[in-house]
Structure 1
């Protein structure tokens, strides 16, 4: 029987709290922790720099970028494509040259075989027969160093002499530039300028230091990660999804300019998402540590 007392040290059950405490102190097992607010990207921050946008633009899928950062990304990808295209053309020329050389060798071998077959056949002398026999005996050697093969041995230290050297084929690079977040085709002309409405335009405090930076220009509600937002394509104004559902979608008219809208003119703005978590889902980080072997 186990002893039941306040300072019991002979318990038969290894409780969950004791196991969790021992695992944390031992340095083994997996640590799980819910990611806090500071680890999730704010709705008005660039998806590349993770900082508040100075000149915000949005893609058709609703991903927000700083114009300078996304244009720099597009230019970098175009330069990378140009470099890969030059390498592809160079490799393609070398393949064509190799094919032409191989064809010329085959053609020359056919000519040589034809010339040799047209020569008259003579009876070999005994000395020639002995020499041919000795040559065939030496050629039948299983050593890979005989018959001049010592210079053709593969070398794993020289790239040109590796067994798989020359097997790579030229592959034409893809000229399409993809969005770094959604991996959908991206063009600079498809970027839409975004217009945020400041909560207090007279306040000269830096945007990074403000907790509530922007508001909906129609309902005057403060915008944050907990409030779903949408961008109106014609003007770039950011409004709440509640305003879209209750006011805009009734008549499909822009509430600020009275302009007729279409379904594609309302772009839901994507929220959250960093290298640690996606939007409002799986907000839990895990640290893999060595497992305790019994």
Structure 2
């Protein structure tokens, strides 16, 4: 039996490989790519800096951040909100002044119209051969020049005739700071410190980062990783496996580290990345939608 070449163009069948290759080159059709382990964040890394956390904290939704990074993010968001609020208040004051000026001009126009009507009232008959009120009637040449001025378009090269662009209307900014991962409101009081238990207390930070298994469960001493579902206990900040939570902690709902009574909201599941395998339960496929050629 003859061998089949991948780049063989003499075949009567349009193979899957040829279709995939043509799709990548043509720029049409949806492309999909399976993410490897190198493209997935580790469970103990910051969601902003993507680096192992030195002082980790967790949100109620289970996203871990470096304390310095998330506080800087919240401060930046509040600064931007303050700038937007200042611009909105400035626009509001300008609009208020414009409305006051319009009301004043409308009042003055009403007074002027009333005075003009008062001046038209006369006690003697008007001469039909003279213009009303002693004003000279506009001739055809005056009307023609007025029409020509109305038809003139603004000249962009003459500063006095250049049209002005109106400022865009600003809406009132939202003062709430949202979590960059979950999109839910985020407050500083909701951030909970996390205390990972390292594999070896004697290891320095650099040595700890280079290890494949860096932390262990605070109760069962099992190694933690992306393949192991973990949770943080709010009172103590200890990190334990979900298996430990289901089999041990939920029996009496007491924190095994400090003995504090636990509630359901005190057990926060950590949002983990994945392992590169489909069995991890995490979406590991990236898609890019591109134009599709239709017959």
TM range (shorter): 0.7 to 0.9
From 130, 136, 139, the counterpart of 1:134: 139
Hey, what does 1:89 align to over in structure 2? 89
Hey, what does 2:12 align to over in structure 1? 12
Looking at structure 2, the residues matched to 241 and 9 of structure 1 have their Cα atoms a distance apart, in angstroms, of 54
Looking at structure 2, the residues matched to 249 and 115 of structure 1 have their Cα atoms a distance apart, in angstroms, of 87
Q: Is the Cα contact below 8 Å between 2:57 and 2:191 reproduced in 1? A: yes
Q: Is the Cα contact below 8 Å between 1:199 and 1:213 reproduced in 2? A: yes
Change (3 A) 1:135 1:247: farther
Looking at structure 1, the residues matched to 3 and 66 of structure 2 have their Cα atoms a distance apart, in angstroms, of 61
Hey, what does 1:276 align to over in structure 2? none
Matches within 5 A, 1:252-291: 252-272=253-273, 280-286=281-287
SS at 2:203's partner residue? coil
Q: Is the Cα contact below 8 Å between 2:236 and 2:255 reproduced in 1? A: no
CA deviation profile, 1:240-283 (whole Å, cap 9, x unmatched): 1111111111110112222211111111111128xxxxx95432
Matches within 5 A, 1:180-259: 180-204=180-204, 205-259=206-260
Matched, 1:161 2:181: no
Q: Is the Cα contact below 8 Å between 1:155 and 1:161 reproduced in 2? A: no
Matched, 1:123 2:126: yes
Once the two structures are TM-superposed, the CA of residue 208 in structure 1 deviates from its matched residue by 2.8
Looking at structure 2, the residues matched to 174 and 9 of structure 1 have their Cα atoms a distance apart, in angstroms, of 59
Report the TM-score, using the length of structure 1 for normalisation. Answer: 0.81
Moved more, 125-134 or 84-93: 125-134
Hey, what does 2:67 align to over in structure 1? 67
Looking at structure 1, the residues matched to 20 and 289 of structure 2 have their Cα atoms a distance apart, in angstroms, of 15
SS at 1:206's partner residue? helix
Q: How many correspondences in the alignment?
A: 278
Change (3 A) 1:135 1:84: farther
Q: Is the Cα contact below 8 Å between 1:52 and 1:207 reproduced in 2? A: no
Report the TM-score, using the length of structure 2 for normalisation. Answer: 0.80
